């Protein structure tokens, strides 16, 4: 089977022409927004669009406005040729890779801020982050006007923020959340995992393990959530994680901390290992039979 190289478009005008042509042909369009450094998690999102019979558009844009001043914008992996090859190999159709100037031309002054959902979890630790995300995703959705857009559940707070934003702004794209893809030891795939040293990568496998055990204990009602979360924190700290930004059990929709499982809930963790900030979350539910 020969692999067809997907076109790489860099201006909104070129993108709109291509999308308009597809629409005239009656195509359905699926968007996979990314910052590049594509891994199996991203490729799973692309496959979901292809399985739905959509033309798959991947956006590759390392969005400066979602990084804080002391974060890793400069170091964030940029490997476009490799990304395009991976995207082509799974059968993706189009790469939307705007320049910073195309995305934020001189005089740009509009921002999208989603309140409530951004008050907790990563919100206080990454001021401005979700405003940067909501603004760039709103732009990506309005540029591509896809039928569906696919996001990994690993960034669960981001997924909820994007859902709220698309609903509130009447953007007619269905937002699809896709379960996290994990390594064999349970570590969630992330473009930032490449920052981990060999020792850190080994230690990182404790994170999904502690999370699974904490979720199981919460489900079994072994102790009040506060106690379970404290013990999870202590185990992570003892293994070299720190600072630990949060270990929390929150309502799966509103993302507010809960103390029982009256409604669907998830366990959320954000912790640093060396210079890498890892985040993860899992549902608190009985395993499928």
Number of other residues whose CB lies within 10 A of the CB of residue 150: 26
Cβ proximity to ligand PAF: between 191 and 214 the closer is 191
Exactly one of 35, 94, 102, 175 binds ligand PAF (CB under 6 A); that residue is 35
- Binding range to ligand PAF, per CB under 6 A, among 15-23, 30-38, 73-81, 210-218: 30-38
Maximum distance among all alpha carbons in the chain? 59
At a CB cut-off of 8 Å and minimum separation 6, what does 152 contact? 41, 42, 44, 45, 159, 177, 178, 180, 181
- Which has the closest alpha carbon to 151: 88, 86, 58? 58
Nearer to ligand PAF, 83 or 245 (CB): 83
Bond into 15 cis (ω within 30): no
Q: Is 12 left (phi over 0), alpha (psi -120 to 50) or beta?
A: alpha
Burial of 73 (0-12, 13-18, 19+ CB in 10 A): middle
Of 39, 42, 93, 111, the catalytic one is: 42
Can residue 34 be called a binding residue for ligand PAF (CB under 6 A)?
yes
Cβ proximity to ligand PAF: between 22 and 76 the closer is: 76
Instruction: Please say which residue, 130 or 241, places its beta carbon nearer to ligand PAF.
Output: 130
Which CB, 46 or 232, lies closer to ligand PAF? 46
Any catalytic annotation for residue 129? no
Residue 33 vs 123, nearer CB to ligand PAF: 33
Residue pair 130/114 in contact (Cβ under 8 Å)? The answer is: yes
Site string for ligand PAF, 48-77 (x = CB under 6 A): ---------------x--x-----------
Q: What is the DSSP string of 227-258?
A: HHHHHHHHHHHHTT--SEEEEEEEETTT--B-
Give the CA dihedral 70, 73, 77, 80, nearest 10 degrees: 180
- Spell out the residues 6+ positions from residue 33 whose beta carbon is closer than 8 angstroms to its own: 59, 61, 136, 137, 140, 149, 151
Is 136 near ligand PAF (CB under 6 A)? yes
Site string for ligand PAF, 91-130 (x = CB under 6 A): ----------------------------------------
Pick the piece of the chain touching ligand PAF (CB under 6 A) from 131-139, 215-223, 232-240, 254-262.
Answer: 131-139
Number of residues binding to ligand PAF, judged by CB under 6 A: 10
| Least gap, CB of 121 to ligand PAF (angstroms) | 14
Chain centroid to Cα 105, Å, comes to 25
Q: Which of 33, 98, 146, 177 binds ligand PAF (CB under 6 A)?
A: 33
Residues annotated as catalytic are: 42
Which residues are near ligand PAF by CB under 6 A? 33-35, 63, 66, 133, 136-137, 155, 158
């Amino acid at each position: 089977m020969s692999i067809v190289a997907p076109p790489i478009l860099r201006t909104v005008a070129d993108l709109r022409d291509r999308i308009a042509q597809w629409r005239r042909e009656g195509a359905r369009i699926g968007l996979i927004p990314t910052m590049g450094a594509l891994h199996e998690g991203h490729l799973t999102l692309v496959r979901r669009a292809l399985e739905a019979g959509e033309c798959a558009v991947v956006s590759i844009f390392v969005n400066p406005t979602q990084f804080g001043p002391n974060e890793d914008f400069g170091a964030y992996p940029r490997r476009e040729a490799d990304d395009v090859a991976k995207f082509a190999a799974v059968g993706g159709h189009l790469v939307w890779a705007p320049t910073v100037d195309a995305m934020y031309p001189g005089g740009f002054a509009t921002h999208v801020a989603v309140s409530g959902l951004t008050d907790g979890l990563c919100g206080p630790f990454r001021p401005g982050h979700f405003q940067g995300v909501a603004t760039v995703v709103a732009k990506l959705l309005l540029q591509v006007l896809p039928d569906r857009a696919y996001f990994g559940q690993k960034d669960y707070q981001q997924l909820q923020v994007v859902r709220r934003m698309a609903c509130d702004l009447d953007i007619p794209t269905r937002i699809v959340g896709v379960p996290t893809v994990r390594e064999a030891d349970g570590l969630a795939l992330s473009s930032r995992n490449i920052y981990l040293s060999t020792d850190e990568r080994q230690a990182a496998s404790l994170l999904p393990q502690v999370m699974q055990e904490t979720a199981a204990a919460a489900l079994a009602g072994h102790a009040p959530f506060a106690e379970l979360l404290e013990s999870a924190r202590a185990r992570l700290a003892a293994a070299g994680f720190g600072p630990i930004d949060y270990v929390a059990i929150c309502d799966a929709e509103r993302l507010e901390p809960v103390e029982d499982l009256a409604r669907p809930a998830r366990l959320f963790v954000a912790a640093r290992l060396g210079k890498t900030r890892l985040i993860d979350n899992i549902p608190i539910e009985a395993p499928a039979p």
